[in-house]
Copies of this chain bind each other. A is one copy, B any other.
Amino acid sequence: MRARLLEATVELLVEKGFSGTTTTLVSERAGVSRGAQLHHFPTKNDLVVAAVAHLTERRGEELAERAAELPTGSQRTRAVIQMLGDHFAGPVFTAALELWVAARTDAALLEAVAPLERVLGRETHVMTVELLGADESQPGVRELIQATLDLVRGLGLASTLGDDTRRRRKILDQWALTLDVALDKEKQ
**If A150-B158, A174-B147 touch, does A17 touch B97 (CB 8 Å cutoff)?**
no
Contact of A171 among B94, B106, B143, B174 (CB under 8 A): B143
| Distance between Cα atoms of A182 and B147 in the complex (Å) | 15
Interface residues of A in 138-159 (CB under 8 A from B): 140, 143-144, 146-147, 149-158
Residue A43, interface by CB 8 Å: no
- Contact flags A86-106 to B (C-beta < 8 A → 1, else 0): 000000001001101111111
B104 contacts A160, CB within 8 Å? yes
In angstroms, Cα B182 to Cα A143, docked, is: 16
Contact indicator B153/A147 (Cβ below 8 Å): no
In the complex, what distance in Å separates the CA atom of A140 from the CA atom of B175?
9
CA distance A178 to B183 in the complex (A): 10
